[in-house]
Amino acid sequence: MYRGDADDPDAAVEVFAEAGDDGRTAVTGMEVDDRDRLFVAGRDTGLIFVYDTSSGELLERFDTASGDEPALINDIAVTSEAVFVTDSFRPALYRLPLSGDDVGEPEEWLRLDDGPVRYGDGFNLNGVVTTDDERWLVVVKYNTGELFRIEIATGDVTAFDLGGETVENGDGMLLEGSTLYVARAAPEQEILEIALDVEAATGRIDDRIRDDAFDYPTTIAAHDNRILVVNSQLDMAGDGAQPTLPFTIASIDRPD
């Protein structure tokens, strides 16, 4: 993992944590809480890592893998009281309770065998974000393009009505107020801008942001008046394909 200065994109990046350290052989989602702890999803290892962002010290390592179910720990959302983690293969959401400096053991917080979210072949739940009031989670189902809201207090799940549209292949997300940005790399390399009414569970795709700098975008973050887009080149994974080095992060103007 690397660390850089978002205010100085020309500055050299530095290694934050060496590849393979702590059993960290793969990384998908990452999120920082208000105590400057970095939570890292360990993909098919089933591991969740917690690092001190200042020192790079590993604070905790949790293993969610158990039984015969294949795991794919994917994305992370943080509230003041808990960390929520999606799994793209196992039909469950995981929760790590937070209490001051303590991070609790992950629990299978919400099982998704029944109800609106139906797991199938391939990647299922992927990106997850929380609303500003920490009442709701918003999650995207990669293989079907469905968006769901989950009430944190009750675990109730509702599908968003997107007016017949879907966000198939939706990956990392950014929620700012009532605007949801969703990164997707297929069929077009783009960021979807969605006007979201979480209370009414409705949404409308307002814009499809495309840029020549995108190279299989998988996740996004905001910084000042910019949106930063990770160019994963995941289309180069496997079959001997070679990604173009160095990997990059695209920086685009925040839409008006």
Can you give the residue ranges of every domain in the chain? 2-216
* C-alpha span between 181 and 209 (Å, rounded): 10
Residues in the chain: 256
pLDDT over threshold 90, residue 67: no
The pTM score is 0.96
CA torsion 212-215-221-222 (nearest 10°) is -10
Specify the pLDDT at position 68.
Answer: 81
Specify the pLDDT at position 188.
Answer: 93
Q: Which amino acid is at 3?
A: R
Specify the pLDDT at position 209.
Answer: 96
pLDDT over threshold 90, residue 102: yes
Q: Give residue-wise pLDDT tens across range 122-160.
A: 999 999 999 999 999 999 999 999 999 999 999 999 999
Provide the CATH number for the domain formed by 2-216 in this structure. Answer: 2.130.10.10
Distance between first and last Cα of the chain: 32
Specify the pLDDT at position 241.
Answer: 87
